[in-house]
């Protein structure tokens, strides 16, 4: 895999995209996720009502992989039920671990499939999964 | 400098299909055959538990252990009984913090340290401060990353009991004005604890000439195996300090209710030691010093100047600390505008260039510099101008790779 496959257009654009970088009005939960070894640090905010993730946003800093992953995750989970969001997180972990590779199976991840290249880069896995672990922890606390 | 690459087996193996350009020597160096063979020889021919047997083999192991101590002593211009073998710099600094700091500091005393300290020379002192009521006082470098005389006089005062500083910062690469610090500290009655992790690989360190009270370094940053290092302490200080770890080998005699300790340095060396590592450390010191300090410094200075001159031509690169090469040893930390250091390191790695990215165990310094992280290229004697050229070539691909249209 070449370096441009890892840093493909979707990742590069989403890593700098501002569209989910904001606080969420009426947030029901706010949770910080940190990778102490490399300094990725995001705060994820969710407004969950009637079992639906109505809105999500984040603030924080980190590498392109962690930032793109957070932004792509939010694209995906807004409007989903808590259960669906958790399932997507499970699917994402499966892709990053290299356990789920089928195109059809991964279809539900939408543009987040652009992060599949990370499955070949053990040193960057924690960057890709930070937002998703934070999401699962946040949804767990919400429940 | 003659080409040393063929003495390092690991450097001959490609990385990502390319020649490995290893520029993370500040984290750990590679080991030459001279060191690998010395360790193997020890285990093949001389291995036994030193000090614990009367048979000939145990004597040979004891000789290897004490012979290595003599080599380390010579390296620092100390006496052998002022050298304590440790695992690494961190253990040496912890030993001083607990056996000296906890014993002799009290509420109202001050511990002075630079904000650039590695966590190894900071966290133990925080714990000492918490336990004794002593206060941590930080010295801040100027905009050029260098400590001024004024800052030294302002922060080291009559209440200062310990001054703990790195001779060379592992982020800024700059040497602190150690003569100035020692003079002021001793005037005020404080002891100086010198973290030599990043200085011993690059310059001759003479603890007598510097007149520091303690000095710690790691073998693994000095071409020796991991898991071995040394602490120097002035004998009169070591003698009045209580042991750090206790148990086997560090005693004179043990009774049901009391123990008398072995003389220094064995008082501080509890349990079976890493003799294979010590032999490797001695071999590394002999291998390195045989190259000659003048030659080592001239070569590493040339690498540094070439890298700094190359970076200066790239407007999107920020180098931390005075970009003049004088007084800079082995380390250049930098950032590429708009790109996170981890992404920079990943992109360089694709070209076989290994640099470190992160906070470099110096979070208070990162905070002081107003950054979360940075990249660090750090050099060793085996690096070449071609390595620096590869770094400079690869770093110019970074912004393009991340979608910035300026190249
Ligand atoms: C300045 C400095 N001090 C202390 C250390 C700690 O060394 P070690 O990890 O070998 O204990 C390091 C390196 O990691 C360092 O660069």
Strand segments (E) across B246-370: 251-254, 259-261, 317-319, 331-336, 353-354, 356-358
By Cβ distance, the residue of A12, A39, A124 closest to B402 is A12
Is B347 found in the same domain as B275? Answer: no
- Give the pLDDT of residue A31: 96
Residue B22: CATH number of its domain? 3.90.1150.10
What is the B227 CA–ligand 1 centroid distance (Å)? 12
Instruction: Report which ligand 1 atom has the smallest distance to the Cα of B220.
Output: 10
Question: pLDDT by residue (tens digit) across B76-124?
Answer: 999 999 999 999 999 999 999 999 999 999 999 999 999 999 999 999 9
Of the three residues B239, B265, B289, the one that is the final residue of a domain is: B289
Task: Tell me, yes or no, whether B406 lies in a domain.
Answer: no
State how many domains chain B has. Answer: 2
Residue B197 Cβ inside 6 Å of ligand 1? The answer reads: yes
Question: pLDDT by residue (tens digit) across B223-282?
Answer: 999 999 999 999 999 999 999 999 988 999 999 999 999 999 999 999 999 999 999 999
Name the one residue in this structure whose structure tokens are 């040393």.
B4
Task: Tell me, yes or no, whether B346 lies in a domain.
Answer: yes
Indicate the angle between helix axes B293-312 and B385-395, nearest 10 degrees: 20
Residue contact B358–A37, C-beta within 8 A? yes
- Going B343 to B346 to B352 to B354, the CA torsion angle's sign is positive
Task: Tell me, yes or no, whether B317 lies in a domain.
Answer: yes
Is B41 found in the same domain as B11? Answer: no
Is B300 found in the same domain as B271? Answer: no
Q: Write out the residue range of the structural domain in which residue A97 sits.
A: 3-142
Residue contact B342–A41, C-beta within 8 A? no
Residue contact B350–A2, C-beta within 8 A? yes
Residue B64: CATH number of its domain? 3.40.640.10
- Give the pLDDT of residue A2: 84
Does the complex come out with an ipTM higher than 0.95?
Answer: no
User: In chain A, what percentage of residues exceed pLDDT 90?
Assistant: 85
Where residue B405 falls among pLDDT bands split at 50, 70, 90? confident
Of B196, B361, B375, B401, catalytic? B361
Residue A20: CATH number of its domain? 3.90.1010.10
Residues of A in contact with B357 (CB under 8 A): 38
Q: Is B153 helix (H, G, I), strand (E, B) or coil?
A: helix
What is the B193 CA–ligand 1 centroid distance (Å)? 14
Task: Tell me, yes or no, whether B381 lies in a domain.
Answer: yes
Is B170 found in the same domain as B85? Answer: yes
Residue contact B343–A38, C-beta within 8 A? no
- Give the pLDDT of residue B66: 97
Question: Residue B119: which of B355, B313, B366, B291 has the closest Cα?
Answer: B366
Q: How far is B96 from B185, CA to CA, in rounded Å?
A: 17
The answer to whether B375 is a known catalytic residue is no
Q: How far is B315 from B329, CA to CA, in rounded Å?
A: 23
Residue B118 Cβ inside 6 Å of ligand 1? The answer reads: yes
- Give the pLDDT of residue B90: 98
- Give the pLDDT of residue B51: 83
Residues of A in contact with B403 (CB under 8 A): 7, 9, 12-13, 16
Of the three residues B289, B306, B329, the one that is the final residue of a domain is: B289
Instruction: Report which ligand 1 atom has the smallest distance to the Cα of B168.
Output: 1
- Give the pLDDT of residue B407: 52
Is B212 found in the same domain as B330? Answer: no
* Nearby residues of B18 by Cβ (< 8 Å), 6 or more positions away: B351, B352
Residue B328 vs residues B121, B167, B202: alpha-carbon distances, Å: 20, 11, 10
Is B241 found in the same domain as B133? Answer: yes
Task: Tell me, yes or no, whether B173 lies in a domain.
Answer: yes
**Looking at the complex, does the CB of residue A64 fall below 8 Å from at least one CB of chain B?**
yes
State how many domains chain A has. Answer: 1
Mean per-residue pLDDT of chain B: 96
Is B354 found in the same domain as B223? Answer: no
Is B338 found in the same domain as B200? Answer: no
Q: Write out the residue range of the structural domain in which residue B151 sits.
A: 35-289
Where residue B406 falls among pLDDT bands split at 50, 70, 90? low
Of the three residues B242, B261, B289, the one that is the final residue of a domain is: B289
Residue B394 Cβ inside 6 Å of ligand 1? The answer reads: no
On whether the pTM is more than 0.90, the answer is yes
- Give the pLDDT of residue A25: 94
Task: Tell me, yes or no, whether B135 lies in a domain.
Answer: yes
Structure tokens given for B193: 């604890």
Instruction: Report which ligand 1 atom has the smallest distance to the Cα of B195.
Output: 3
Is B207 found in the same domain as B156? Answer: yes
Q: Please compute Rg for chain A using Cα positions.
A: 14
């Amino acid at each position: 895999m070449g370096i441009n496959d890892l840093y493909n257009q979707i990742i590069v654009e989403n890593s700098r995209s501002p569209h989910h970088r904001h606080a969420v009005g009426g947030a029901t939960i706010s949770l910080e996720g940190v990778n102490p070894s490399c300094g990725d640090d995001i705060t994820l905010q969710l407004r969950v009502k009637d079992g639906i993730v109505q809105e999500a946003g984040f603030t924080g800093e980190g590498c392109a992989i962690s930032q793109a992953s957070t932004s792509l995750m939010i694209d995906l989970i807004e409007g989903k039920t808590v259960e669906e969001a958790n399932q997507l997180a499970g699917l994402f972990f499966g892709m990053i671990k290299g356990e789920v590779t089928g195109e059809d199976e991964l279809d539900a991840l939408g543009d987040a499939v652009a992060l599949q290249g990370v499955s070949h880069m053990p040193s960057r896995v924690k960057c890709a999964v930070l937002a998703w672990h934070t999401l699962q922890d946040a949804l767990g606390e919400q429940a | 400098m003659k080409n040393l690459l063929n003495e390092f087996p690991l450097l001959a193996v490609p990385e990502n299909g390319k020649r490995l350009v290893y520029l993370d020597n500040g984290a750990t160096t590679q080991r030459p055959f001279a060191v690998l063979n010395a360790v193997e020889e020890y285990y093949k021919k001389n291995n036994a538990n030193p000090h614990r047997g009367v048979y000939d083999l145990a004597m040979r192991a004891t000789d290897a252990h004490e012979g290595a101590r003599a080599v380390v002593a010579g390296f620092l211009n100390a006496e052998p009984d002022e050298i304590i073998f440790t695992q690494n710099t961190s253990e040496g600094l912890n030993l001083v913090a607990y056996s000296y700091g906890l014993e002799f500091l009290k509420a109202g005393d001050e511990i002075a340290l630079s904000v650039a300290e590695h966590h190894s020379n900071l966290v133990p002192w925080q714990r000492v401060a918490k336990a004794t009521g002593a206060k941590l006082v930080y010295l801040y470098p100027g905009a050029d990353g260098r400590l001024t005389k004024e800052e030294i006089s302002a922060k080291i005062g009559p209440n200062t009991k310990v001054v703990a500083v790195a001779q060379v910062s592992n982020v800024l690469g700059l040497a602190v004005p150690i003569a100035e610090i020692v003079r002021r500290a001793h005037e005020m009655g404080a002891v100086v604890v010198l973290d030599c992790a990043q200085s011993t690989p690059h310059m001759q360190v003479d603890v007598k000439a510097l007149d520091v009270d303690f000095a710690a370094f790691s073998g693994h940053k000095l071409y020796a195996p991991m898991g071995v290092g040394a602490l120097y302490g002035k004998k009169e200080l070591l003698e009045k300090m209580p042991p750090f770890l206790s148990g086997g080998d560090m005693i004179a005699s043990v009774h049901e209710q009391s123990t008398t300790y072995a003389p220094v340095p064995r008082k501080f060396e509890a349990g079976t030691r890493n003799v294979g590592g010590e032999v490797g450390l001695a071999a590394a010191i002999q291998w390195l010093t045989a190259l000659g300090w003048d030659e080592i410094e001239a070569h590493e200075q040339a690498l540094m100047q070439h890298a700094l001159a190359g970076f200066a031509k790239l407007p999107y690169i920020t180098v931390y600390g005075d970009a003049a090469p004088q007084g800079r040893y082995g380390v250049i930390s930098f950032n590429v505008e708009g790109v996170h250091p981890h992404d920079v390191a990943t992109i360089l790695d694709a070209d076989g260039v290994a640099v470190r990215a992160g906070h470099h165990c110096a979070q208070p310094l990162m905070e002081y510099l107003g950054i979360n992280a940075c990249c660090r290229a750090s050099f060793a004697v085996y690096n070449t101008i071609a390595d620096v050229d590869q770094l400079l070539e690869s770093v110019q691909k970074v912004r393009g790779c991340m979608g910035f249209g300026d190249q």
